[in-house]
Structure 1
Amino acid sequence: MKEFFKYVLATVVGIVAVSIIGFFLMFMIVGVLISTTEKQISVQNNSMLVLPLDRQIVDRNPDDPFEDIEIPGFETIKTVGLDDIKTSLDKAVNDDRIKGIYLKLSAFNGGMASAEEIRNMLIDFKGKCDKPVYAYGDSYDQKSYYLATVADKIVIHPLGSVDFRGLGGEMMFYKNLLEKIGVEIQVVRGPNNKFKAAVEPFMLEQMSDENREQQLRYMSSLWNHMLTGISETRNISVDELNTLADEVQTFKQGTGFVEIGLVDYAKYKDEVLDDMREIAGISGKKGIPVVSVTDYADVEVKGFSEKYSRNKIAVIYASGDIGMSMGGEAIFGDELGREIRKVRQDSTYKAIVLRVNSPGGAVFDSEVIWREAKLAAEEKTLVVSFGDVAASGGYYISCPADKIVAQPNTITGSIGIFGTIPNFGELMNDKLGITTDVVKTNKNSDLLTLTRPMTGYEKQLLENYIARGYDTFLSHVAEGRGMTKEDVDAIGQGRVWSGENAKEIGLVDEFGGLDDAVELAAEIAGVEEYRTISLPFLPDPFEEFFKTGTDNLRARFLKNELGEKYRYYEYWKKATSFNGIFARMPYDIYVN
């Protein structure tokens, strides 16, 4: 008992200490913000436009003032928005002050579709002007290298490496762990949802044959698309690239990659700076004026301005898990539904582009958004643009669209539903010595309790409920895509597809990015002159900070401390919150 009270006291002291530190940091940050005036960005002649692609890539610049605050021991998560990259590149085409583009690459902190979108933006930029694109990385992972291959020159540090070995994925399975601690995750999947693998980590010790099959299918699609792009820009055949990957190039060093043609030069940073001076037309060892896309996007450039038009196209962003928040972006049915409804009822909006970047989530929230999207599509042009992932609930909310636009390496599909009910009975009774008792007025008043296994009757009820949910999902997709339910079921069953595969089977209409989706929406709506409005409007950063409070601080600290491993913590939080009915992707996909 003495030890128990000692640990309790230590826990209480720890919580108090963390709270005090949190509040101290909060007021310190606010003080810095209040005392900091908005910085003025000045673009000098002979400047290089820098794309800091080692930052976290997001669809939309969050306009977060905390990113630029430097506090000892408190490192912020810096982001760069695809919208800022697009705006900056468009401005730089005819801005004589910008002499070239510098891609700051080592790791690429975004998904495959984001890499594809930026790559296509750079190809478009090069087609409009003769300004060089220069890529440099201390080392390159496979995504950053794929993006770098669009550059006029790819440069690496003499001791740097290019990770080139093909794509692979790894899943963690918790079945044995849960058995040891006395926890059972009771799983019910939709009828024949054999590919719906979100729950496999709690049921199995390794991948099912169906899961292995679907992963290999879409990974092969992503890899082949990547190799085709590299082959075109580096003039190396796909067969030769596959041979290089089989041999594993990861452990070579700088000049070794020059010899096999993957990069152009191996140079130290001072030599890279000399290259920058040559591009910018700067003599001697003078400093090189640089401007980041995150700053340049807000700079007024002569001759570049969005024409005013009464006709508007709404670009509505839907990013994150649906109906659940884990400290990051999230989509909630009522909020997003309200945004779509407001645009639908506003006659100045001629079309809607819904930008979806979500692995799915709660079925109820997905249904709320689907309904508003369907009503909008009946009154206005609705085009959906897929980001890195638009699967399960992400596809659910998209299927009423007139057209769906995706990248070949977008992850989509996963049309299926599952439900999980944890049983902590053994953990509580046998491991912790906690017992429970029940009083009830009717036979099933304690329906789906977490302290015992489901009865056969309860399980049948849940199976029937999920079967109806899956049938509803199939009906929505069949109606939206002009298919039969049987056809949708054949490509559904929870199966994940690449964008390339999805186009072949009718789940996607066209390849392209957000800009392509906007142009398509304008074309369908018959609108020649228009302006785009990004929605929902971004919240006031101060208000948002106080709203999230210590949750925001905790997430930032954890991301800083755990780095790439934060994703495992985040996945575990999501997985353990699966208590209910979900339309979500089987897993989170990361390509190194």
Structure 2
Amino acid sequence: MKQFFKFVLATMVGIILTSAVMVFIVFALIAGIMASASGEKDVHVDANSILLLEFKAPIEERTPKNPLIDLGLLGLDKEKNIGLDDILANIKKAKTDDNIKGIFLNESYLMSGQATTEEIRNALLDFKRSGKFIVAYAEIYTQAFYYLASVADKLYINPNGYFDLSGFSSETVFLKGTLDKLGIEAQIIKVGTYKSAVEPLILTEMSDANRKQVTAYLGSMYDHFLGGISKSRGINKDSLFNYANRLAIRYPADALKYKLVDGLKYKDEIINDLKKRTDTDLKDDLNSVAVNEYTHATTGDEDEAEDSGSRNRIAMVYATGDITSGDGDDQTIGSEKLSKTLRKLRLDNKVKAVVLRVNSPGGSSLASDVIWREVLLTKKEKPVIVSMGDVAASGGYYIACAADSIFAQPNTITGSIGIFAVLPNMQKFFNEKLGVTFDNVKTGEYADLGDISRPLTPAERAILQGQVNTGYNVFTKVVAEGRRKTQQYIDSIGQGRVWTGEQALKIGLVDRLGNINDAVKSAAKMAKLNNYKIVNYPEQESAFKQLGANFSAKIKNTMLKSELGENYLYYEQVNKLKSIMRVPQARLPFNVVIK
């Protein structure tokens, strides 16, 4: 009995101590959040400063309000976290800030899509029109970072660094072998010769049709990549192609020889060069402000059109991530939440136009249709302009096609007009791997339709194929209506085929090639606005709300992103298998990874 009371007492003490620790952690988080919120004070920028641009984390559409990062928890560096929205705004602000003399583009392992990089590159080109300088430096130039840096007035590389110019490749991970080993069959119902999203589940390599489309869009993106460098560096595009094709540039000296960089220097030499450019004594520290800190700097020289005091508003609505039913979260597009947002904006008299920023590979076809309907209704009340990001394909294109006008970057991935459904047959897995069998009683022939413990019957497959066919017919019909084309024509360029923005312009899937700012100007013109304020939607969740919602999941995802970097895409690809089962999908072939 004495031993029993010892155990009880020890357990009670443990519970009390654990509770005390948890209470302490919660209060620490609350205090940290409050301190973080109150700590966003205006940043003072000294005269003769440079704006430091370096990107060491994946670039999302908007700067995330992630309390785990904002508080520097779990070893995550909050200084690295900035979204495309703030990057573009800060480069634009620096253009007219007398205290900013130029930009230093420091080595970055750029983790962003092609169109995101294009947006930043265009902003840098616009910055140069002010007459201010841009200097770029890296020990290692990846192709992505070099494309961005190629706009600089001067490019330097470490004398013993590494320079990559080898061409693009697109890689798909195939899972059929894994499923075969597990005894799982992916039963596919689809429409679209090029609808390759299901191929990783049923093939071990690309189909001929998929290889054809990947070759076409990869070639289009690569041609644009070489064209941009050619224009910035004054090097013939064919010469660049040949350099890459024979891997002529293997060492920094090669990059200098072929005029892709302007010099071989160490970092301290670059710092001294920047000091000279800013009239700073070599003995003094270089005045600089990081791009994320510059968000909180005020210059007093705002864009005349963007009048913060104006009653006229242009709503910038972000639709980012996979499309799902329900509210979604900060990484997905929830049809219910986005529909509510669009309805609210439609009824708001202050909102004169809507810019829908789409960066989505698609998702649930039903959820896409729900959002499409709200876009259509909103267009009847006020102008709706779509700005496409890295990808606006399949369901992402579905929600965009009803807009008054669609803008895309030349290297945006779009199209993929097609529908598919996946239903796993796990009979062998259950029977042979686990020794589990099933039996049932049903009141109707199709009461157990979709049962994963057995294969589909021919009749069941025919029913599901009919549903998918109907979904594709609806998809092509709404695209035809939105783009003012015949349904037959949309089917001919549909069939699940993926296009780049440049290709999509030629076949009528988009109206113009341009960036976010071009879309905003178009919206203002359609709404006949001279002065307006841009307001972002949906509102980002507060830190308190984020901490309360799926806290453990947020910790896991935040840490995985931080540790895996660009390889997080592969984790996502496998994880998405759960979401595509059983529900008809309008989505891209998982993640398109271009190296």
TM-score bracket for this pair, using the shorter chain length: over 0.9
Tell me the equivalent position of 2:184.
183
| 2-structure distance, mates of 1:172, 1:591 | 12
Distance 1:280 1:195, change over 3 A: same
Among residues 377, 380, 400, which one is paired with 2:382 in the alignment?
Answer: 380
Confirm whether residue 80 of structure 1 aligns to residue 82 of structure 2: yes
Secondary structure, in 3 states, of the residue corresponding to 1:136? strand
| 1-structure distance, mates of 2:51, 2:493 | 44
Residues 510-530 of structure 1, C-alpha deviations (whole Å, 9 max, x = no match): 011111001011112222222
Distance 1:560 1:72, change over 3 A: same
| 1:57-206 pair list within 5 angstroms | 57-71=59-73, 73-74=75-76, 78-127=80-129, 129-190=130-191, 193-206=192-205
| 2-structure distance, mates of 1:123, 1:139 | 22
Distance 1:487 1:394, change over 3 A: same
Residues 219-270 of structure 1, C-alpha deviations (whole Å, 9 max, x = no match): 11001111111111111101110110011256x2323311121111221111
| 1-structure distance, mates of 2:342, 2:115 | 25
Tell me the equivalent position of 1:233.
232
What is the Cα-based RMSD across aligned positions, in Å? 2.2
Residue 109 of structure 2 contacts residue 145 of structure 2 at CA under 8 Å; is this kept in 1? yes
| 1:242-321 pair list within 5 angstroms | 242-249=241-248, 252-304=250-302, 306-307=306-307, 308-321=309-322
| 2-structure distance, mates of 1:20, 1:474 | 59
Confirm whether residue 449 of structure 1 aligns to residue 451 of structure 2: yes
Confirm whether residue 212 of structure 1 aligns to residue 214 of structure 2: no
Residue 421 of structure 2 contacts residue 584 of structure 2 at CA under 8 Å; is this kept in 1? yes
Residue 22 of structure 1 contacts residue 550 of structure 1 at CA under 8 Å; is this kept in 2? no
Among residues 326, 337, 341, which one is paired with 1:339 in the alignment?
Answer: 341
> How far did 1:577 drift?
2.5
Letter in 2 for 1:221: S
Q: Which moved more, 1:551-560 or 1:53-62?
A: 53-62
Secondary structure, in 3 states, of the residue corresponding to 2:124? helix
Letter in 2 for 1:311: N
Tell me the equivalent position of 1:14.
none
| 1:345-356 pair list within 5 angstroms | 345-356=347-358
What runs of 5+ residues in structure 2 fail to find an aligned partner? Answer: 1-18
| 1-structure distance, mates of 2:64, 2:464 | 40
Tell me the equivalent position of 1:478.
480
> How far did 1:336 drift?
0.3
What runs of 5+ residues in structure 1 fail to find an aligned partner? Answer: 1-18
| 1:2-21 pair list within 5 angstroms | none
Distance 1:35 1:503, change over 3 A: closer
Q: Which moved more, 1:55-64 or 1:276-285?
A: 55-64
Secondary structure, in 3 states, of the residue corresponding to 1:446? coil
| 1-structure distance, mates of 2:289, 2:68 | 19
Residue 101 of structure 1 contacts residue 133 of structure 1 at CA under 8 Å; is this kept in 2? yes
Q: Which moved more, 1:83-92 or 1:234-243?
A: 83-92
Confirm whether residue 585 of structure 1 aligns to residue 591 of structure 2: no
| 2-structure distance, mates of 1:551, 1:469 | 33
Distance 1:39 1:484, change over 3 A: closer
Q: Which moved more, 1:479-488 or 1:541-550?
A: 541-550
Q: Which moved more, 1:32-41 or 1:471-480?
A: 32-41
Confirm whether residue 364 of structure 1 aligns to residue 366 of structure 2: yes
Tell me the equivalent position of 1:429.
431
Distance 1:22 1:216, change over 3 A: farther
Secondary structure, in 3 states, of the residue corresponding to 2:520? helix
Confirm whether residue 33 of structure 1 aligns to residue 36 of structure 2: no
Distance 1:505 1:545, change over 3 A: same
Confirm whether residue 45 of structure 1 aligns to residue 47 of structure 2: yes
Distance 1:281 1:234, change over 3 A: same
Distance 1:23 1:404, change over 3 A: farther
Residues 68-93 of structure 1, C-alpha deviations (whole Å, 9 max, x = no match): 54456556694322221222222222
Letter in 2 for 1:164: L
| 2-structure distance, mates of 1:302, 1:328 | 32
Q: Which moved more, 1:302-311 or 1:30-39?
A: 30-39
> How far did 1:424 drift?
1.2
> How far did 1:138 drift?
1.9
> How far did 1:23 drift?
9.7
Residue 58 of structure 1 contacts residue 79 of structure 1 at CA under 8 Å; is this kept in 2? no
| 1-structure distance, mates of 2:74, 2:389 | 35
Tell me the equivalent position of 2:15.
none
| 1-structure distance, mates of 2:528, 2:420 | 41
Secondary structure, in 3 states, of the residue corresponding to 1:206? coil
TM-score (norm 1): 0.92
| 2-structure distance, mates of 1:567, 1:62 | 18
Residues 169-192 of structure 1, C-alpha deviations (whole Å, 9 max, x = no match): 1112111221111001111002xx
Residue 106 of structure 1 contacts residue 138 of structure 1 at CA under 8 Å; is this kept in 2? no
Tell me the equivalent position of 1:547.
549
Residues 289-324 of structure 1, C-alpha deviations (whole Å, 9 max, x = no match): 211222212322123264222211111010001007
| 2-structure distance, mates of 1:56, 1:42 | 27
Q: Which moved more, 1:530-539 or 1:453-462?
A: 530-539
Tell me the equivalent position of 1:12.
none
Q: Which moved more, 1:59-68 or 1:221-230?
A: 59-68
Percent identical across equivalent pairs? 42
Distance 1:338 1:429, change over 3 A: same
Confirm whether residue 512 of structure 1 aligns to residue 523 of structure 2: no
| 2-structure distance, mates of 1:39, 1:468 | 52
Among residues 524, 527, 546, which one is paired with 1:525 in the alignment?
Answer: 527
Distance 1:499 1:489, change over 3 A: same
Residue 258 of structure 1 contacts residue 264 of structure 1 at CA under 8 Å; is this kept in 2? yes
| 2-structure distance, mates of 1:74, 1:30 | 18
Residue 111 of structure 2 contacts residue 566 of structure 2 at CA under 8 Å; is this kept in 1? no
Residue 77 of structure 1 contacts residue 556 of structure 1 at CA under 8 Å; is this kept in 2? no
> How far did 1:66 drift?
3.6
| 2-structure distance, mates of 1:544, 1:299 | 27
Distance 1:152 1:218, change over 3 A: same
Distance 1:35 1:302, change over 3 A: closer
Residue 327 of structure 1 contacts residue 551 of structure 1 at CA under 8 Å; is this kept in 2? no
Tell me the equivalent position of 1:223.
222
Secondary structure, in 3 states, of the residue corresponding to 1:228? helix
Secondary structure, in 3 states, of the residue corresponding to 1:469? helix
Q: Which moved more, 1:162-171 or 1:75-84?
A: 75-84
> How far did 1:591 drift?
2.7
Distance 1:498 1:72, change over 3 A: closer
| 1-structure distance, mates of 2:226, 2:354 | 34
| 1-structure distance, mates of 2:104, 2:245 | 31
Q: Which moved more, 1:175-184 or 1:408-417?
A: 175-184
Q: How many residues were matched structurally?
A: 571
Letter in 1 for 2:320: S
| 1-structure distance, mates of 2:64, 2:76 | 19
Distance 1:364 1:30, change over 3 A: same
| 1-structure distance, mates of 2:350, 2:77 | 43
* Superposed structure 1 runs of 4+ greater than 4 Å apart: 19-31, 34-37, 71-77, 324-328
